[in-house]
Amino acid sequence: MTDKIFPNGLASDQIIRAKSILKKVNLKKICADNGVSYSIVINVLRGTSPRLECLRIVLDAANVELQKRDTLIQSF
- Look up the domain containing 52 and give its range: 12-74
In a domain, 61, yes or no: yes
- pTM for this model (two decimals): 0.87
Per-residue pLDDT tens over the stretch 6-62: 999 999 999 999 999 999 999 999 999 999 999 999 999 999 999 999 999 999 999
Answer whether residue 24 is part of any domain: yes
Q: Is 58 within a domain?
A: yes
Quote the pLDDT of residue 3.
Answer: 81
- On whether residue 4 sits in a domain, the answer given is no
What was the pLDDT predicted at 1? 55
Q: Domains in the chain: how many in total?
A: 1
Question: What is each CA distance from 40 to 31, 34, 54, 65, 69, in whole angstroms?
Answer: 10, 13, 7, 21, 26
Per-residue pLDDT band at 2 (split at 50, 70, 90): low
Q: Is the pLDDT of residue 65 over 90?
A: yes
34 lies in some domain: yes
In a domain, 7, yes or no: no
- Asked whether residue 2 is domain-assigned, the answer is no
Which residue stretches of the chain are H helix?
12-22, 27-33, 38-46, 52-74
